[in-house]
Structure 1
Amino acid sequence: MPKTPDELFRFLQSLGIETKTTEHPPLFTVADSQALRGTISGAHTKNLFLKDKKDNFFLLTVEEEAVVDLKSIHHVIGAASRVSFGKPEALMELLGVIPGAVSAFGLINDEAHRVRFFLDATLAESETVNCHPLSNEATTTIRSADLQRFAEATGHPVTILKLDS
């Protein structure tokens, strides 16, 4: 059974990580979330849940305007082949979220450590980052360093991803 947002917040608290969460109507796309600009400060994310032909899974958390070339990103992330988007069933099984709610916080549900996590260098260098807290009906602001500490605490090493501009 996937963790709830409350369980996520308790885990973050146990790590001494402070966050601020803003509730809002469900958001399914970056375009939807851009309507909230001005009310939620910090870097905003786009999340790609990808798989290769050998069923290796990858979560790329990138700055919302970043361009990710799906035809060549497999070379950068060490995939066995070109990648495609993971199916909603795999997303729920591994990260415990539905499409539209994907975020680095889903790593808390990947107890088997099947998903490799990549964080965009732009986000890694930002002071704060915004992620859905296992639900697309809220946005949680967290310090970038704390997001990385969270990922490590779930057993997911953070690989910094440098994307070509």
Structure 2
Amino acid sequence: MPKTEAELYAFLADLGISVSTVRHPPLFTVADSQALRGEIPGGHTKNLFLKDKKDNFFLVTVGEEAVVDLKQIHHLIGAAGRVSFGKPEMLMELLGVIPGAVTVFGLINDTAGRVKVVLDQELMSHDVINGHPLTNEATTTIAAADLVRFVEATGHDAVILKVSLS
């Protein structure tokens, strides 16, 4: 059973990480997000749930405006050949979220450590990062350093690489 938004906040609180959350209508795309979220400072995320031909899974988190070359990214992230988008069933199984709500916070549900996370270097240059708290009906703001602490606390390596072309 995937963790709830409340369980995510409790996990963050247990780590001593404070976040702020803004509620809004469901957001499914970056365009929706830009139109409906209001003024929330910091880096806003776009998340790519990818898999390679050997069923290795990757969560690549970049800035909302970032351009990513999906034909070449496998060289950067250590995938076995070209990548494609992971199926919604695997997204739910591994990260506990639905398409449109993909988020780095979903790593709390990947207790087996099957997903390799890659945080874009440009995104991580922001003081604060914004992502969905397991639902696309809210945006949670977290300090960039605390995001790295969260990722590591879920048992994942916080790999920071330049994956965006912008």
Instruction: Tell me the TM-score range normalised by the shorter chain.
Output: over 0.9
Does residue 56 of structure 1 match 2:56?
yes
User: Which position in structure 1 is the counterpart of 2:93?
Assistant: 93
> Which deviates the most, 24-33 or 119-128?
119-128
Aligned length, in residue pairs: 165
| CA distance in structure 2 between the aligned counterparts of 1:113 and 1:45, rounded to whole angstroms | 22
User: Which position in structure 2 is the counterpart of 1:40?
Assistant: 40
Q: Deviations over 1:81-118 (max 9, x none)?
A: 10000000000000000001001000000000000000
Per-residue deviation, 1:160: 0.7
User: Which position in structure 1 is the counterpart of 2:154?
Assistant: 154
Q: What's the RMSD between the two structures over aligned residues?
A: 0.9
User: Which position in structure 2 is the counterpart of 1:5?
Assistant: 5
| CA distance in structure 1 between the aligned counterparts of 2:36 and 2:153, rounded to whole angstroms | 30
Cα distance change on mapping 1:129 and 1:106 into 2, 3 Å:
same
Percent same amino acid among aligned pairs? 72
Cα distance change on mapping 1:151 and 1:132 into 2, 3 Å:
same
Per-residue deviation, 1:37: 5.8
Runs of 4+ in 1 over 6 A off after TM superposition: none
User: Which position in structure 1 is the counterpart of 2:30?
Assistant: 30
Q: Deviations over 1:45-84 (max 9, x none)?
A: 1000000010000000001111111101000001001000
Per-residue deviation, 1:38: 4.8
Per-residue deviation, 1:17: 0.3
Amino acid at match of 2:100: G
Does residue 84 of structure 1 match 2:97?
no
